[in-house]
Amino acid sequence: MSLKIIFMGTPDFAVPILKSLSFSQHEIVDVYTQPPKKKNRGQKISISPIHKLANELKLNVKNPENLNSKKEIEYIINKEADVVVVVAYGKIIPNELLDLDKTKFINIHASLLPRWRGAAPIHRAILNQDKETGISIMKIVPKLDTGPVMMKSKIYIHQDANYESLSSDMSILASQMILKALTLIEKKEDEYIPQNEKAATYAKKINKQEAKINWQDTARTTIAKINAFHPNPGAWIYFKGSRIKLVKAKEIKLSGTPGKILKSNFTVACKENAIQILELKKEGKKKMLVSEFLKGNKINIGSQI
């Protein structure tokens, strides 16, 4: 037996999950994703990673500005889907749809709920130096990320993990979990456990100013910021009038005035210990090793960043 599924998602994180569903016995009747956007100065139209994959898989794509119109609500109702799978879609689902008896709305969230509800759970877990995180599959309710949880699975956060690598590992885990969840739904064996509201924490959206390196932080906190914000928005510094994103660094047991360059290999003092910058990215350029950067950029030991 197969289920009729509507998939709603947008970013790279959702791609392995849609792939997994497309290779299953279940039928994907529609894929909803964010509308195409104009990108960069050339104003070239850019479609989402999910839109691109859906085109490759020859699936029907819909990208309304919102789901609140009578026409859109009726369209979804008339599809009579068994399950709507939502993964970082980025739009609010109307209560009128959530109240449907014949259609289950489930969300794949990148944290161990109720920890890190909200927009940036992976970033916040790394930034907070958590030892583990995971995937939660829950029933969608009107209040954001508060629905009862059907299933969870943990994943260890390696010390060198950044947003890019951890997000990739978590999306692969989610692509396996969703098939198990759909099997339970198929067999009518799905059960949902309410979240503990007292344990809830919130992962607010990231802004570029927050990603600026503060040398008054410890070396460990600074590295956590670099890892959490790679590749976007990218932890950054000003160096000789240019903004540079830091891609990778390691902690060095040296001390000095925070922000002072201590060694010619681009080791910079923090509030506690120092960091050696290993990879960086200049504005408009590709990322590079610091050894390449230093060939054309002189740094002065003792100067302040």
pLDDT tens digits along 142-158: 999 999 999 999 999 99
- Across 44-48, 50-54, 280-284, which has the greatest mean pLDDT? 50-54
Query: What is the pLDDT, as a whole number, of residue 7?
Result: 98
The average pLDDT across 54-65 equals 97
By the 8 A CB rule, do 267 and 225 touch?
A: no
Mean pLDDT along residues 256-271: 97
Band of the pLDDT at 41, cuts 50, 70, 90? low
- Please check whether residues 220 and 136 belong to one and the same domain: no
Residues 88 and 171 in one domain: yes
pTM, 2 dp: 0.94
Q: Is 35 part of a structural domain of the chain?
A: yes
Instruction: Give the model confidence (pLDDT) of 179-223 as tens digits.
Output: 999 999 999 999 999 999 999 999 999 988 899 999 999 999 999
Q: Give me the domain span that covers residue 40.
A: 4-203
Strands in 157-257 per DSSP E: 202-203, 235-239, 242-252
The answer to whether residue 121 is domain-embedded is yes
Beta partners for residue 62, in sequence order: 32
Closest by CA position to 119, among listed 45, 11, 36, 195: 11
pLDDT of residue 33 exceeding 80, the answer is: yes
Are residues 49 and 161 located together in one domain of the fold? yes
Mean pLDDT of 3-20: 98
List Cα–Cα distances, 15 to 74, 88, 145, in angstroms.
27, 11, 21
- Clarify whether residues 39 and 174 are in a common domain: yes
pLDDT of residue 40: 66
